């Protein structure tokens, strides 16, 4: 993948560990259904979200105040930090309740993110398609399947040259939780 720094660790978390994290997080995260501005109108995001960590974060027009780290989140963070080589100070968490929930094309390039910062993305639950496309050529796409327990790292110029999305699917599938650990300025 050119102009990108992407490292994929499939199955970093074992299936029993991952199932346990999925249950823990489903039940104990303070999930929110946030509105987002879409062509000037407030619509609800097609997924539930939560934000934990040490610093507030502005994301797609929403100012998010962080909740305090939980033991489960700190445990996951401690596994990925040695691989990422950074200390993450925040995590944005997405709950895709079923195949209808999704996230549209975007780059993780909000101003609050440390420039070129590493994003550590951990997935639990249902397998979903994760697509990259070049910002200067939307036909140029790369597809990954993110499974239970997978860890995907994006760094360097990835966000500058590529967008990503998790599209909806007509398949009858269960929930998926994705945690994107970040370094906020």
Ligand X SMILES: O=C(O)CCC(=O)C(=O)O
Which residues sit at the interface with ligand X, rule CB under 6 A? 92, 94, 103, 108, 121, 130, 146, 164, 166, 178, 180
Contact partner, 126, from ligand X, Mn ion, none, Cβ < 5-8 Å per class = none
Choose between 108 and 112: whose C-beta lies nearer to Mn ion.
108
How many angstroms separate the Cα of 125 from the Cα of each of 42, 70, 90? 29, 20, 21
Contact partner, 24, from Mn ion, ligand X, none, Cβ < 5-8 Å per class = none
Alpha helices by DSSP H, 61-143: 71-84
Alpha-carbon 110 to chain mean position: 14
Give least dist CB 92 to ligand X, A.
5
Calculated CA dihedral for residues 25, 30, 31, 35, nearest 10 degrees: -150
Contact partner, 166, from ligand X, Mn ion, none, Cβ < 5-8 Å per class = ligand X
Contact partner, 89, from Mn ion, ligand X, none, Cβ < 5-8 Å per class = none
Within the chain, strands assigned E span 5-9, 35-38, 41-44, 48-53, 57-59, 62-64, 90-96, 103-106, 119-125, 128-134, 137-146, 151-155, 162-166, 176-182
Give least dist CB 74 to ligand X, A.
20
Choose between 77 and 182: whose C-beta lies nearer to Mn ion.
182
Choose between 24 and 95: whose C-beta lies nearer to ligand X.
95
Give least dist CB 180 to ligand X, A.
5
Give least dist CB 165 to ligand X, A.
7
């Amino acid at each position: 993948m050119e102009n990108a720094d992407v490292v994929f660790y499939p199955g970093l978390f074992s299936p029993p560990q991952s199932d346990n994290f999925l249950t823990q997080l489903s039940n104990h995260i303070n999930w929110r259904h946030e509105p987002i501005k879409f062509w000037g109108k407030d619509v609800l995001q097609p997924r539930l979200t939560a934000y934990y960590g040490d610093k507030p974060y502005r994301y797609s027009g929403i100012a998010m105040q962080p909740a305090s780290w939980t033991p489960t989140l700190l445990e996951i963070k401690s596994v990925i930090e040695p691989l990422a080589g950074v200390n993450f100070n925040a995590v944005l968490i997405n709950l895709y309740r079923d195949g209808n929930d999704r996230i549209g094309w975007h780059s993780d390039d909000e101003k609050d993110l440390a420039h070129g910062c590493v994003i550590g993305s951990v997935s639990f639950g249902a397998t979903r398609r994760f697509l990259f496309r070049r910002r200067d050529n939307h036909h140029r796409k790369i597809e990954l399947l993110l499974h239970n327990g997978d860890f995907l790292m994006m760094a360097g110029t990835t966000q500058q040259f590529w967008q990503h999305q998790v599209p909806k699917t007509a398949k009858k599938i269960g929930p998926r939780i994705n945690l994107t650990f970040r370094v906020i300025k």
